[in-house]
Structure formats: structure tokens, C-alpha cells
A and B are shown apart, each in its own frame.
Chain A
Amino acid sequence: QKEVEQNSGPLSVPEGAIASLNCTYSDRVSQSFFWYRQYSGKSPELIMSIYSNGDKEDGRFTAQLNKASQYVSLLIRDSQPSDSATYLCAVKHGSGNTGKLIFGQGTTLQVKP
């Protein structure tokens, strides 16, 4: 089992729809979770971080965390063509000051006008 798993996609949604991106992780003691957006040919850009169970909203983005199910998701409301990118889920494995970020392979999102 991979440490951080994402469906590679592509996930295709029409403009204005809600895009739902999902990620599962294997380490039960993981404390910190991140979503990165990566446009083709560019480097990853941090867009959301979440540390406790529940929802965290930032503009059109909502991150959801369920530690019991070891599941984190990213919802993008009112999807725009400019949201078309690969979204990487990252999880901090280990506790305290040790540990490192483990990245999933990413889900490609296509928003069609």
C-alpha cells in the first residue's frame, strides 16, 4: 500500500461545478496535511493546509480531514478553467519535530468551459 494515495485522473468537470479531489494515507499518527497545485511545467504551489478534523475553507477551496478514516479531500467550488492543474496531496508522517512530507502522485483536474 502506498503511503499517500490519490486517483491520478484525469478528473473532468464543467466550468462552475464542484470538483472533489480525494486522498488517503497510511500513517495513523500523521498530524499535518497539505494540498499543492501544480500547473504543467511549473513547480508545486501550496494552496491549503489542515491539521485538525473537519473542514477548512479558503475562498473557493475547502479542505476536509477525517483522521479516523485516514482521508483528506479538497473541494473546489465554482471551478474555473484556470483551476486545471495537477493537485498533490502531502502528508507529514511521524510526530513531533521529526518526519517529512510524503506526496501522493497527484490528481489531474480538467475544467471544461
Chain B
Amino acid sequence: DVKVTQSSRYLVKRTGEKVFLECVQDMDHENMFWYRQDPGLGLRLIYFSYDVKMKEKGDIPEGYSVSREKKERFSLILESASTNQTSMYLCASSLILGRGYTFGSGTRLTVV
């Protein structure tokens, strides 16, 4: 089974801090994704990547950036954390674009 590992389960950060969320998958998947999930808003795509060093904006990229230096690792960066970025962040990967994703266990980020 594909394993998608997110480095932190819970994080608390201060407003204005630069925050790094890490995601690693172990099945050589080309495609990786970052979503945030909020009550009443569902899953919203922040960024995705089809290949190393390649990135595409999703639906809500403002305030975020990403890095994919190696195929197995996709990092989400909050340039200057704000309270409205408090959320559950979910990383996912897939072998074939548009096929079923495998999600990591999620990182619940609280910005205070």
C-alpha cells in the first residue's frame, strides 16, 4: 500500500511565522497535492505538482507556496502565517493524474 506521511499531526504557530509542512510518499508517485479542509467548506486544493520542480496553483494558493525538489517529497510553505490559515492540511499523492488519491494523516495547524 502507498504510504503518505505528513511530518506533524498537530502544530501551533504564531502569527507571522514561516511554517513548513512536509509530506513524503513512498510509491514513486508522480502527482502530489496539498489540500486544506475546513468545516462547511470541504476540501480545497492549494497547490499540486505533476513532477519534480513542477508546481501548479490550485483554487486557493494565496499565502502559500510549495517546493518539490525530490519526487517523494512535497512541502507546503506558509510564508507568513495568519489566523485564517488555521485548518486541517492534507497531503495526497496519486500514480495516475485524476485517479484516486491516497491521503496522508493530516496536519492540524493552529495559528495564534
A residues adjacent to B (C-beta < 8 A): 31-32, 34, 42-46, 49, 88, 90, 92, 94, 97-101, 103-106
Instruction: Tell me if B's interface is mostly helix, strand, loop or mixed.
Output: loop
In the complex, which of the residues A100, A104, A106 contacts B98, with contact meaning CB atoms closer than 8 Å? Answer: A100
Closest-CB distance, B109 to chain A (whole angstroms): 14
In the complex, which of the residues B42, B90, B100, B102 contacts A104, with contact meaning CB atoms closer than 8 Å? Answer: B42
* CB interface residues, B 60-82, toward A, < 8 Å: none
A43 and B90 contact, CB distance less than 8 A: yes
B residues adjacent to A (C-beta < 8 A): 33, 40-43, 45, 48, 58, 90, 97-106
Which B residues touch A44, using CB under 8 A? Answer: 43, 90, 103
Which A residues touch B101, using CB under 8 A? Answer: 46, 90, 101
A105 and B41 contact, CB distance less than 8 A: yes
In the complex, the 4 A-B pairs of residues with the closest C-beta atoms, listed nearest first = A105-B42, A92-B98, A43-B103, A103-B43
Which A residues touch B100, using CB under 8 A? Answer: 34, 46, 49
Beyond contacts A46-B100, A92-B98, A105-B42: 5 other A-B pairs, Cβ-Cβ < 8 A, are A32-B98, A46-B102, A49-B100, A88-B43, A97-B97
